[in-house]
Chain A
Amino acid sequence: MNSKLTVAIIAAVLLALPFLGIGPYPLHLVIIILIWSFAYTGWSIMGRFGLVSLGHGAFMSVGGYVTALLWNEIGLSPLIGIPISLACAAGLAVLIGYPCFRFRIIGHYFALVTLALSEVVRQVIIATRDTTGGSLGYTPERFGDGWSITAFQTDDRMIFYFVALVVWMGGIVIWRLVDQSMARYALEAIWEDEEASASVGVQVTKEKLKVTVLSAVMTAFAGAMYCQYQMFISPDTVGGVGVSLQIVFAVVVGGIYNLLGPTIGAVITILLAEVLRISIGTESICITDKICLNAAGVPLLIYGIMLIVFIIFLPKGIVGGCIDWWRAQSRKEAEQN
């Protein structure tokens, strides 16, 4: 099929979606999926080169909290606040990334250093509970009813849908730009062998740092978007080890090495959680008076099994696996002809 036509059809469906008369709840789900997809795409920009970070919860918290704090405390519009929060995330990424890459901390050591980063940010938020509300969470103040550009707030889901859609498309474009750039070849070479690529003139530290900062900024922007949409953030919904792992896993399930992998991962994981929540509820189901089963844990349970199965049998994720299968099929057909 003509790929341009496919893209046009998908774009048309996405643009027309809110006018197709879908209810507020499905629209809410689509917005949430778009925001998380953007964060996941941001993570996979570095994750696909073997730079597995377990610290993206930290960047997401910085994006959400800095924007919301500036708005509440000094009344600074998110239009200025978001760029400031992105700059903070970029600074944090350099602060942690530069020494890591300079001293050749790679593989699971890199994962554990970034894991410590997400704990540091979470503990700082909890420790400064007098300002940030700690574990109880934080709410940006409403400016009033309706929508406002300066407050970057709206009570109309439709408007936010288009904002999220544009942001998500931006993420896809950035992913593609990185995919087609020289940096991609440099980073793949670094992934294969750092010493060898350095010896042929690849600037290892610089290349890695560039992609890390880009990834951190995208994730922080997703954090700010999430905060402006939900009007509530807490250290455990946008940060900490839990969210950091959730980001990695959704991408692994969808497919790290493909353009739409992170988005598919978001669709699957979020829909799975919602479908299970609605179909089996969160109530306790008592078998006998002693043994009660709490249905709220089921999504987590299935999620865990899915991840193990994927990593063992389908490490390229759903999208990657499908593409491999499709290629094998078409090769078979070509041989038969």
Chain B
Amino acid sequence: MQNTVTAGIDVGSGAVKVVVMEFTDGTPKVLSQISSRIRKRDIADVVNEVMAQATAASGVAAIDYVATTGEGEDIPFATGHFYGMTTHARGALFLEPTATAVLDAGALHARAVAMDPRGKVLNYKMTSQCASGSGQFLENIARYLGVSQAEIGPLSLQADRPEKCSGICAVLAETDVINMVSRGVSTSNILRGIHESMSGRFARLLRSLEHGPVIFMSGGLAGDVGLVKALEDEFAALKAPTGPPPRIAPHPDSIFAGALGAAIWGEFRHRKLGAAAPAWKAA
């Protein structure tokens, strides 16, 4: 029986996610997965802290391959680094085997990735530099409205008359929100308006490539039920000429998709390269 242990470290702009996986004759099993918000701390410190927690929780004494993704290129104990879209595509297939595309919506940007059933990236598109389609923007708005992150989605679902806001510029959108508050628009309708604006952008991204029938949502925004609903409604309203709208597939572990993909590709590389000294050992 061949056992390989790998770790995937996804350094995002808002959080660090670490996954430790064990592969027995190639069959993967997640041993631990831990994330932590960066919150103005030194990224290296956060990585070390989350890695220590994840390895302790997994109970492993050594890791064969430590794979990084996202902004994790400089992690000193890494074996290899994979680009974000490569890992999110593979992580999506692990969590949702029928996925044909990924919408990775994170703190600072969003990207749409189309892949084949092996996880090979076929095409991708990213949002431009404006922050209006990002989790950070949504978080800022929630703070202005005095709403916690966990409340954003459920509140958005309660909206009855959503207010449109700028989908192009975060500065204009913030001005729109201030105007809405002063006009007495309800928090639910404001949040749903923002979700509609964001989902419009995301749908355009996805439609610019052949996304297929199942779109997996990864990144920090995947857990926002209001955004998922707005995206489903956006596609339903488009009345695509060919077939039904795609299924939007969030997952409770969506936030770990990049780290999972990195760990899985790490096992692949470890197998391809042959046995080598462990990349990490317990102190």
A binds B: no
Q: Which residues of A contact B (CB under 8 A)?
A: none
